[in-house]
Amino acid sequence: MMPESAALEGSGRPIAIFDSGIGGLPYLASARASLPGESYVYIADRAGFPYGTKTRAELRDIVVALVGRVRGAFDPKALVIACNTASQAGLEAARRANPGFPIIGTVPAVKPAAERTRSGIIAVMATAGTVGDPYLDALVARCAKEVRVIRVAAQPLVAFVERRSAFASPEERRAAVEGFVRPLTDAGADEIVLACTHFLHLRDDIAAAAGPGVEVVDSRDGVAGRLKAVLSERGLLATAGAVPPARSRFVLTGEGPFEPEYAILATAFGLDGPTCLSPRPREARA
């Protein structure tokens, strides 16, 4: 058990959550539902967007640098990498660079999909980087070796979500996902794993395109549960029933002015901002 001083130290500090853009906002919402007494800072790495087209080495360096900047700017009690691609490429390197600091990654929900499939066929919708990453190979071999796994790189949907989804009509959203979903259901998949956080913004559209009998799964609840467990183990949870010590914030990398969709999403998710992430690295703090 952590000493009482650790709990006091962590009580007023935020939880940081970041992604390449807006994809991790549903993970923020899930964390809030699980831990309503905490304050949060959500960082959208607008300057690094998109992650799915970068090499593993490039992305590893981006993740390690961004974790350092976020720690320097906000001194969070914990950090969630709400991105499958970034977690696969940079989670372990970020942990090595920040010993003792809790960093929670995101893993595609392949295991629950494999356990629940009735047809014996599941699908994984992901970025180009995630689909071809050795981590996914190992995850499938470990958790889904008894089922057929169809992988689809739905990279164009990432840009659609980031730039268009806030303004798109239901017809546009349905048209955007149809070409990726239809081949999966035609092949017999009855579980579709959303292995890119951006796709959660189109979850209802993907489910509608897939039709009845197909379950769409993601990792939100698992990540929120892991975050809660880690904070509890370290004595850093806010007191039950506590009011968050500060309003949660929406922060972007890169220079303004920012595109209007970010202000719309800040309001939709109850965040102050958007504001710009300070360029100062952690080492520059006094």
Angle between helices 220-233 and 25-34 (to 10 degrees): 50
Supply the DSSP symbol for 13: P
| Selected catalytic residue, list 22, 196, 206, 265 | 196
Tell me how far CA of residue 188 lies from CA of 18, 30, 145, 178, 191, in angstroms. Answer: 34, 30, 17, 16, 9
Q: Is 276 a catalytic residue?
A: no
Q: 80 in helix, strand or coil?
A: strand
Phi, psi (deg, nearest 5) at residue 273: 125, -165
Instruction: Identify whether the C-beta of residue 65 lies closer than 8 Å to the C-beta of residue 43.
Output: no
Of the candidates 23, 42, 71, the one whose C-alpha atom is nearest the C-alpha of residue 282 is: 71
- Whether the CB-CB separation of 11 and 238 falls below 8 Å is answered with yes
Whether the CB-CB separation of 48 and 66 falls below 8 Å is answered with yes
Catalytic residue among 25, 83, 110, 192: 83
Rounded to whole angstroms, how far apart are CA atoms 31 and 147? 31
Of 185, 189, 199, the closest CA to residue 153 belongs to 199
**Is 143 noted as a catalytic residue in this protein?**
no
Report residue 261 as tokens: 């969709």
| Catalytic (active-site) positions | 83, 196
